[in-house]
Amino acid sequence: MSPAETLRSGLINGAKLLDWADSIGQLKPHFFADIIAVPGDPLTDIKVLEHPAFVMKNGEVVLKN
């Protein structure tokens, strides 16, 4: 799979598979979503996901470099 397909399958398709697409996986009001920031473009180098620079879970910052 391409990096985009890998991310899509783990994030978007996972929510659909669990029948949670109406409550997770989108940055919208009343949705549950965790956010990460990485030092590069995961679509060109998927390995940047191994080194997050910022992580927010349940609205709380849990990692900030």
Could you read off the pLDDT of 44-56 as tens digits, one per residue? Answer: 999 999 999 999 9
59: left (phi over 0), alpha (psi -120 to 50) or beta: left
Which pTM was predicted? Answer: 0.72
**Which range marks the domain in which residue 48 is found?**
3-64
The encoded tokens of residue 50 equal 């191994």
Give yes or no for residue 25 having a pLDDT over 80.
no
Q: How many domains does the chain have?
A: 1
Residue 31, helix vs strand vs coil: coil
